[in-house]
Every structure is written in structure tokens, then in C-alpha cells.
Amino acid sequence: MKRIPFGILLALLAGLGLGLVYSWVISPLRVVDSIPSALRADFKDEYRSAIAGAYAATGNLERAKARLSLLSDPDSIDALNAQAQRMLASGEFQQADQIAFLASALQGNGSAFVPPPTPTAQVAITQPVIPIPSSSPIASSTTLEVFTSTPEFIPTQSIIIEATPRPTQTVIPTIGAPYKLIAQESICDSNLPDGLLQILVLNASRRQMPGIEIKIAWDEGEDKFFTGLKPELGNGYADFLMTPNFSYTVQLARGSDVASGLTAPACQTSNGDSFFGGFKLTFQQPK
């Protein structure tokens, strides 16, 4: 049986090592000009966030559609809704609103994100008056301070200059028509938690809307919550546990009818046991 010469084996190992060093260190593979559909899932989320931000600033829905098509999602609207729910669960409310409004616009109900107004910039120019001893030459000092406080023993003269941003040609999308309260049901179901308030939000095409902020108030305080945090119950579903004997008022933050005087109803089971029921409210955006 012939043995492989040691020199040949050593040369093969050296060649393999040099090849690995060249391919991994000296000239590794670089992917350039890759298509968005080849991105990783987290990078696709960032790409959708950038598209939603651009749509919020320009209102150009056709360009947003063209950019989303590059991701090759089976359903762009479902992908946006799912991402909005994940962002709501992680506390990224502003980006979740932008993505949810883009999904709403793609559904054809005219909803869009309205950017917050640009705050007015203020610059305070302070000219302190510094006491000058009689034995020293007359001198003056002028300092420029931006949003700083002046010591009490130095009298100041403050001039406030308001810099107003220039008007731009940016198209600001509108939110759309307010939502209507189309159904209000009193529910007595012992299988549900006591005082469960269920809310369902639909668009004009009766498609459930995620990321819609809901405001609820009662005598002792107020709270807010969002639809879509329980996708197993529906993208437009949200709920709240009412305290018995408290009266609640519910309204959507984006404008809707007001459901007031909601108090958990007293109910009874077939065995005569008492419990508290709840309500189911359905809001829909008119066509």
C-alpha cells in the first residue's frame, strides 16, 4: 500500500489555508446592488419604516406602492399591519402610526399620517450690564446666550427673535372622515371577564384597522390604548376592563362619535349567580 508523500499533503493543506485566507480576509464576498426582496426580515422592517416616513412627508402614494413592490411581499397591506402591531407592542408608537396609516391609504380609505407642526425657534440675545469701577477705563461687554439664565445680580435686557420656517410645497395628507359608532351591544356572558369593554374599529371597506388610538375617561381619571395588540382576536380589536359602578366615555383619538354613560351591566347566570357584563362597540369610517 502506497503512502501519500508528506510533501504533497503539506502542499495541499497550505493551498487550502491560503485559499481560505484569501476568500475570507483578503477579498471576501461583497453583495452590492442587491434587490430589497433579498433583505433579512429586520432590514425589510426598516425599509418599510423608511417608505412610510417618506409617504408621511410627501403624500405620494404611487411612489410608496412602487417601493413596497420591490420587497415582493405576498400582501403588502398585511405585512404593514403585522409590522405596526409589532411596533405597538414594543412601544414605537409614532413609527407604528405611520406604517398603519400607509396601510390604511393602500386600502383606499384616504387615511394618512399628519406630521406634527414644526415648533417656532426662539433665540434669546442677552446684553448684561456689568458695573465698571471709576478707576478703570470704560469698557463694554456683549455676550450671546442661547436659552441660558442670567445671575440675579446682573440686570439684563432680553430680545426675543422668532424664526418662522419658510413655507414649503410639501403636500400634507388628510386623516379622512371621522369614525361613526355603528353598533353598541350590552353583553352578558359569564365566560368573559367581568366588565369587559370590547371595541372593534373598521374602515370604509369594513376591514379591521390596527394602530388606532382609543381614549377612555371616567370620573377618577382617563387612559388610552390601541387596536391590533391582540391579533388573534382581530387587527382592529381592543378591550378594556371596566370597574363596576363607574361610568365611562369612549372616543377614538382620530375623531369619532362618543360613546358615553357606559356602566358594566348587572347580569345573572342560569343558576341565579350574579356577575357583571360588558359592552361591545363597533366604530366604522363612513364612505
At CA 249, angle to CA 243 and CA 254, rounded to 5?
130
**Contact between 184 and 152 (Cβ < 8 Å):** no
At CA 44, angle to CA 39 and CA 46, rounded to 5?
125
At CA 252, angle to CA 106 and CA 176, rounded to 5?
40
- What are the structural domain ranges in the chain? 36-106, 119-164, 180-284
**Contact between 202 and 236 (Cβ < 8 Å):** yes
Concatenated DSSP letters of the chain = -PPPPHHHHHHHHHHHHHHHHIIIIIS-----S--GGGS-HHHHHHHHHHHHHHHHHH--HHHHHHHHHTTT-S-HHHHHHHHHHHHHHTT-HHHHHHHHHHHHHHTTS-----PPPPPPEEEEEE-------TTSPP-------SS-PPPTTS---EEEEEEPPPP---------SPBEEEEEEEE--TTSPTTEEEEEEE-TTS-B-SS-EEEEEETTEEEEEETTS-GGG-TTEEEEEPPTT--EEEEETT-B--EEEE-PPEEE-TTS-EEE-EEEEEEE---
Number of residues in the chain: 287
CATH superfamily, with its number, for domain 180-284: Immunoglobulins (2.60.40.10)
Residue 54 has a pLDDT of 87
List pLDDT tens digits, range 167-213: 444 433 344 568 999 999 999 998 899 999 999 999 988 899 888 99
pLDDT at 110 over 80: no
Residue 4 has a pLDDT of 67
pLDDT at 145 over 50: no
From residue 283, alpha-carbon distances to 16, 122, 178 in Å are 68, 42, 10
Residue 100 has a pLDDT of 87
List pLDDT tens digits, range 9-40: 888 889 898 888 888 888 787 666 567 888 88
